[in-house]
Amino acid sequence: MPNLSIKDVPEAWAEALRQRASRNHRSLQGELMAIVEHAVNEAPAAALPRGVRRGWKSIEQIAAEHLEKYPQPIQGGPLAVDIIREDRDSR
């Protein structure tokens, strides 16, 4: 199997990757392999609609799309925040 190497990685990036690996319960090598695997298996940009970049929507764009798709809440139904609060309070 071939080996890859990246030289002159800024220390801040290396530390961020170490922390990410720790959060994901992986070694640094395992985290880097997961990142590379995701990049290799990702659909090519040509498969996405024109102007769409995977993972680059702002929260405002997502909220606007959601409001467009679901303009009014279901009347009489519980709000998500109430469901979550009830679940947390029951613990």
* Structural domain boundaries in the chain: 8-45
Q: Is the pLDDT of residue 21 over 80?
A: yes
Residue 76 CB partners (closer than 8 Å, separation 6+):
none
Tell me which of 65 and 32 has the higher pLDDT. 32
pLDDT > 70? residue 86? yes
- The three-point CA angle 86-91-81 to 5° equals 25
Measure the CA–CA gap between 82 and 29, rounded to whole angstroms.
41
> 35-85, pLDDT tens digit by residue?
998 888 876 666 666 666 666 777 788 888 888 887 776 676 777 888 888
Q: Which residue would you say has higher pLDDT here, 80 or 89? A: 89
> Of residues 28 and 41, which shows the higher confidence score?
28
